[in-house]
Amino acid sequence: MTNKRSTTSTRGTRQRHALAQPDACEVLQQLREQDFNSQSELARQCGIPAARLAAALSLLAKKGLVERPGGHGSFRIKASYGHVLGVDIGGSNMRIALADMKGTVLSKWSTSTKRTSSPGMVVEQIRTGVTKLLEQASVPRRSLLAVAAGAPGITDADSGVVVATSYLRGWRNVPFRSLLESALHIPAAVENDVRLAAIGEHSAGAARGVRNFVFLAIGTGIAAGIFANGKLVHGADSTAGEVGYMHVPGTPEEVAKRGAPGSLESTIGGEGVRQQWLRVCREARVPPGRDLNATEIFEHARAGEVHAMTVLDQSARVLAYAVYNISLVLNSALFVLGGGVGMSAPLRDATQCFLDQYNEPVPPKLIVSSLGPDAQLIGAIRLALHTAEARLGLKLQ
Amino acid sequence: MTNVVAHLALAGLVEEVGEGDSTGGRPPDILRFKAERGCVAGVEISPDFLHFLLADLDGRELERASMALDRRSSTPAAVCTRIGTQVRELLGKHKQPEEHLLGLVVGVPAIVNVDEGVVLALSALKDWNHVSLGSMLATEFKCNTVVENDTNLAARGESYRGAARGEKDFVFIIIGEGVGAGIFVAGSLHRGSQWSAGEIGYLRVPNISREHPTVHQYGKLEKLLGAPGILKSWRANQGSRTRPKASRATEVFDLAAAGNAQAKRLLKQRATILSDIIVDLALILNPSLILLGGEVGNHPLLLEEVQKLLLGSEFAVVRVGLGALGSAAVLWGAICTALEPAIQGLLQSPNPAG
């Protein structure tokens, strides 16, 4: 018969460490922002009692993830404990970043995806890129802990399957996470590009620490990455956030179907804004001049050009309408605007003006993304770090 | 006994009732969960009524009660007193001492700061602006008390034992005097940053004439879909003396069912607005299910029209159904909310006074 006391104490230690796991993740999150001088300060930041913090720190120190140089003084993450990879796959190019445990990017690599199409080819490119990155940064392969990749399309994060993509041609139900894990021999995570950008904004952008916000990407298409109660919203079939298809009021200048409702995307997506501009010019019998894109049209509006101002006004009204309705459903305090059209400051300003006029006690706040096109890559790195942490915790049990 | 069972027994939650059949070794003890070890109460405050439900720790209904409220004299203090009296009466009926009341949850038709138990604004009742109902209830009762928005509780009720059992992402749309929604995301209630997620009554929707709506022709959803708005529309168009009268919005839908052409047109217009809202909710949240409830929402003809319209939509159709608990959804949501902390509370400070 086994010694009862020793069995109990082993189970007790394992249990203690198991309980410390979510706290450990919170501690790492805080330490990524800054080093801490005292345990009580760290406990307060994490919002956990001192005893739980001590358990979490002991777990992390045991693993070598956290160090206290000199035995006393500030706590910090051992940045060189291991490394992670973030992959951002777009329609025309792919970027991969190698980061340390603090999330600091050590090196980047990119390649064109214009001639790639099949998942197999993309995974090959990623494999090549990773090898190059490791050489560039002189990091040994065995220190790689996890990889996270963003795909442009409907992605089931739980199963790691890319259900359908818009621009990478013909991806249908691709088990992308397994493919990555087989190619790179490390744990992988897969998410769609808009949600990755939302993760990026939440970890390092304007939505840092905000539990309820929407990242609204307005470019060729329009989609949202939604955070509710501090977590990403996926929905039952991973299609939450497809707000580009929402019906919105029509624009009066639409000659063919005067004022008929259109979808958000067809009205203020990149092409929609261009079409508005061409219509306004046509109505005013003014030549549209050279082919302007949405950002340029809005800049002209800011400079006082009358027809561009009409387009900006219409677009801002429609965007305010959509944002207002989405905020009533979600009660998100903050909307971060990204994408080629969304990053326009004049659009943000005009839309906020209309929002402030709605009869709302606290109108939602609009901010242009400060991370811009890097949001996805930063989100990928953050997701890779979470994936690495989860696996480290599991190994202990 | 194992540690876990010993703990439960100490808390008075389980007892042995005999021995089972041996499968080789010592015969197992048969344990019974002592649901009568305590009880929980749910209360629903509506502008005209107070509704009560008392349940045991299994969530089994013990007793129900309702009492009318006079909107003009229903101040927070008066309502609290009436709640206290009625709950004690229900406990007495079941010979439960007050120490056995392990939780009380109150649903109100208003936005509630659940953390602090503050009702932000309840326009239908007198003096209900920024009311610390939670602290008032805490002076009335010793047990854990929670205040929550009624629509949120209704969603929880349907999730607990109604039509949304097992659904992690769903929306419960309640259409009565007003319009609101309770939203579940990844298995939990979603309240938002200022406690007001789901205030869909304020959604801007195209006015009835959908021919050429611009932003200026959009109005509040509640005005069109709520019971008063439907009745108003029906009476406003009372041109012909032969048009039947209706005293409730549901009667207008009944007339549509009976074949009245104007009623059918009104129903179709409202169903169109509702199905557009459902499409938007589906695009934003991707729920697996949308439930309809409330005096207007519960009408089967409205559901039928909505389902027909959704079939014609360009998107994958989300499942739409009726709530299963009817007007008891809020109370059952309250019971569900009270149960978990009640049992947790017993486990944390076990007291063999079972």
Burial of A60 (0-12, 13-18, 19+ CB in 10 A): buried
- The reported pLDDT for the residue numbered A21 is 73
Q: Per the CB < 8 Å rule, is A332 touching B315?
A: no
Contacts B185 to A, Cβ<8 Å: 228-229, 233
Residues B308 and B172 in one domain: yes
> Looking at the structure, do residues B197 and B289 belong to the same domain, yes or no?
yes
The answer to whether the beta carbons of residues B46 and B334 sit under 8 Å apart is: no
Same domain, A255 and A332: yes
Domain end: A24, A45, A77, which one?
A: A77
Quote the DSSP letter at residue A211: S
B177 located within any domain:
yes
Tell me, what's the pLDDT at B351?
A: 56
Distance to chain A for B264, nearest Cα, Å: 24
Could you tell me if B133 and B232 lie in one domain?
no
Q: Is the domain of A198 the same as that of A250?
A: no
**H or E element, residue A317:** helix A306-330
**Same-domain status, B235 and B264:** yes
B200 touches chain A (CB under 8 A): yes
Q: Work out the percent of chain B whose per-residue pLDDT is above 70.
A: 94
Which of B215, B309, B310 should one mutate to test binding to chain A, selecting the residue with the greatest count of A CBs within 10 A? B215
Question: B109 and B176 in one domain?
Answer: no
Instruction: Say how far apart CA B230 and CA A359 lie, in whole Å.
Output: 23
Q: Are residues A41 and A172 in the same domain?
A: no
- In this structure, the answer to whether residues A323 and A238 fall within a common structural domain is yes
For residue A229, list chain B residues with Cβ-Cβ distance below 8 A. 185, 188, 190-191
β-bridge pairing A93-100 and A83-89: antiparallel
Mean pLDDT, residues A238-267 taken together: 76
Contact A7, A46 (CB under 8 A): no
User: A332–B192: do the CB atoms touch at under 8 Å?
Assistant: yes
By Cβ distance, the residue of A212, A247, A331 closest to B276 is A247
Residue B263, pLDDT score? 94
CA closest to B195 among chain A residues: A331
* CATH at A73: 1.10.10.10
Q: What percentage of chain A carries pLDDT values higher than 90?
A: 64
pLDDT at A94 over 90: yes
Q: Do B194 and A330 touch (CB under 8 A)?
A: no
**For position A53, what pLDDT does the model report?**
86
pLDDT single digits (tens) B60-113: 999 999 999 988 889 999 999 999 999 999 999 999 999 999 999 999 999 999
Cα–Cα distance, A201 to A215 (Å, whole number) = 8
Percent of chain A clearing pLDDT 70 (strictly above): 89
The CATH number covering residue A133 comes to 3.30.420.40
Let me know whether B130 and B116 are in one domain: yes
For A323-350, what is the mean pLDDT? 96
**Has residue A12 got a pLDDT over 60?**
no
- Mean pLDDT over all residues of chain A? 87
- What is the tens place of the pLDDT at every residue in B222-267? 999 999 999 999 988 766 566 788 899 999 999 999 999 999 999 9
Rounded to whole angstroms, the Cα distance separating A136 from B87 reads 72
The Cα B210–Cα B172 span in angstroms is 26
A211, A239, A252 ranked by CB distance to B286: nearest: A239
Task: Kindly report the nearest CA distance between residue A56 and chain B, in angstroms.
Answer: 23
Residue A91 has pLDDT above 80, yes or no: no
Cα(A367)–Cα(A349) distance, integer angstroms: 9
- Mutation target for A interface from B172, B222, B280, B283: give the one with most A CBs within 10 A: B283
Strand order in the sheet with B49-56: B61-68, B49-56, B39-45, B101-108, B144-149
Least Cα separation, residue B55 to chain A (angstroms): 30
**What are the chain A neighbours of B218 within 8 Å (beta carbons)?**
249, 321
Q: Tell me whether residues A329 and B196 touch, CB distance under 8 A.
A: no
Query: Which of B198, B199, B212 lies closest to A260 in CB terms?
Result: B212
**Residue span of the structural domain in which B74 resides:** 38-157+329-348
Type of residue at A257: K
Tokens for A368?
């242009």
Is the pLDDT score of B3 beyond 90? no
Cβ neighbors of B284 (< 8 A, separation 6 or more) are A224, A226, A240, A241, A243, A246, A326, A329, A330
Q: What is the pLDDT of residues B267-313, one digit of tens each?
A: 999 999 999 999 999 999 999 999 999 999 999 999 999 999 999 88
Chain A positions touching B316 (Cβ under 8 A) are: 237
Q: Terminus-to-terminus CA distance in chain A, angstroms? A: 24
Chain A CB contacts of B220 below 8 Å: none
List Cβ neighbours of A268 (8 Å cut-off, separation of 6 or more).
A218, A222, A315, A318, A319, A341
- CA distance linking residue B169 with residue A320, whole number of Å: 26
Res B171: pLDDT: 98
Q: Is A203 helix (H, G, I), strand (E, B) or coil?
A: helix
pLDDT digits (tens, 9 = 90+) for B142-181: 999 999 999 999 999 999 999 999 999 999 999 999 999 9
Co-location of A195 and A229 in the same domain: no
Kindly state whether residues A73 and A92 are assigned to the same domain.
no
The pair of structure tokens assigned to A91 is 């329609």
Backbone angles phi, psi at B109, to 5 degrees: -85, 65
- A52: pLDDT strictly greater than 60: yes
Which residues does residue B282 pair with via DSSP β-bridges, in sequence order? none
- A14, pLDDT greater than 60: no
Phi and psi dihedrals of B183, rounded to 5? Answer: -120, 125
How far are the Cα atoms of A3, A199, A229, A232, B170 from residue B284, in angstroms, in the given order?
Answer: 57, 17, 16, 13, 12
Rounded CA gap, A181 and A320, in Å? Answer: 42
Residue B73 belongs to a domain: yes
Instruction: Confirm or reject contact between B186 and chain A (CB < 8 A).
Output: yes
Record: contact B190-A228, CB cut-off 8 A? yes
Q: What is the pLDDT of residues A108-138, one digit of tens each?
A: 999 998 877 789 999 999 999 999 999 999 9
Residues of chain B contacting residue A247, judged by C-beta atoms under 8 Å apart? 276, 279-280
Encode pLDDT of A178-229 as tens digits.
999 999 999 999 999 999 999 999 999 999 989 999 999 999 999 999 999 9
Verify that A97 and A135 share a domain, yes or no.
yes
Q: B176 and B86 share a domain?
A: no
Query: Of A77, A102, A133, at which residue does a domain stop?
Result: A77
User: Based on the domain organization, do A111 and A252 belong to the same domain?
Assistant: no
* Model pLDDT, residue A7: 41
pLDDT of residue A76: 86
Of A231, A235, A321, the CB nearest to B286: A235
| Cβ–Cβ gap A325/B203 under 8 Å | yes
Lowest mean pLDDT segment, chosen from A67-71, A97-101, A277-281: A67-71
Helix B227-236 × helix B249-257 angle, to 10°: 60
Select from B281, B285, B309 the residue whose CB has the most chain A CBs within 10 Å, as the one to mutate to test that interface. B285
Optimal mutation site among A222, A329, A332, A357, interface B, most CBs of chain B within 10 A: A329
Q: Assess B155–A contact: CB distance below 8 Å, yes or no.
A: no
* Top-confidence residue, A161 or B126: A161
pLDDT score for B214: 61
Q: Would you call B181 an interface residue with chain A, using a CB distance cutoff of 8 Å?
A: yes
- DSSP conformation class of A36: B
Taking one residue from A and the other from B, the number of pairs with CB-CB distance under 8 angstroms is 114
How far apart (Å, rounded) are the C-alpha atoms in residues B111 and A201? 29
In this structure, the answer to whether residues B144 and B234 fall within a common structural domain is: no
Q: Are residues A141 and A227 in the same domain?
A: no
- ipTM for this prediction: 0.91
In whole angstroms, give the CA distance from residue A150 to residue A177: 11
**Domain limits at A339?**
213-370
Whether B285 and A325 lie within 8 Å, measured CB to CB: no
Q: Which of residues 306-325 of B touch A (CB under 8 A)?
A: 315-316
Tokens at B157, concatenated: 């009720």
Instruction: Return the higher-pLDDT residue of B124 and A251.
Output: B124
If asked whether residues A235 and A292 sit together in one domain, one would say yes
Helices (H), chain B: 3-10, 76-93, 133-140, 150-161, 221-225, 227-236, 249-257, 261-285, 294-297, 300-311, 329-348
pLDDT, mean of residues A340-358: 96
Residues B153 and B205 in one domain: no
CB atoms within 10 A of CB B336: 21
Say which amino acid occupies A214. Answer: V
Chain A interface includes B190 (CB < 8 A): yes
Cβ of residue B178 closer than 8 Å to a chain A Cβ: no
| Residue among A234, A243, A321 whose CB faces B215 most closely | A321
Q: B203 in a domain, yes or no?
A: yes
Residues B300 and B255 in one domain: yes
What is the per-residue pLDDT for B326?
96
Contact across the interface for A243 and B183, Cβ inside 8 Å: no
Angle among Cα B331, B334, B338 to the nearest 5 degrees reads 145
Report the alpha-carbon distance of residue A161 to residue A124 in Å, rounded: 18
| Chain A contact present for B347, CB below 8 A | no
For residues B225 and B291, state if they share a domain: yes
Domain annotation covers residue B280:
yes
- pLDDT at position B176, please? 94
Q: How many domains does chain A have?
A: 3
Mean pLDDT lowest for which of A36-50, B21-35, B80-94? B21-35
Contacting residues of A for B288, CB less than 8 Å apart: 236-237
- Enumerate the residues of chain B whose CB falls inside 8 A of the CB of residue A330: 190, 192, 197, 284
- Total domain count for chain B? 3
- Select the residue from A331, A359, A362 to test the B interface by mutation, using most B Cβ atoms within 10 A: A331
**What's the confidence (pLDDT) of residue A237?**
93
pLDDT score for A395: 43
Q: What are phi and psi of B151, to 5 degrees?
A: -65, -40
Gap from B189 CA to chain A (nearest CA, Å): 10
Query: Buried b / exposed e across A372-383, counting CB within 10 Å, b at 16+?
Result: eebbbbbbbbbb
CATH code: domain of residue B180: 3.30.420.40
Using a CB-CB cut-off of 8 Å, the residues of chain A touching B196 are: 331
Contacts of A235 in chain B (CB under 8 A): 169, 285-287
Residues of B in contact with A266 (CB under 8 A): none
On whether both B73 and B25 belong to a single domain, the answer is no
Give pTM, 2 decimals.
Answer: 0.90
Task: List beta partners, residue B66.
Answer: B51
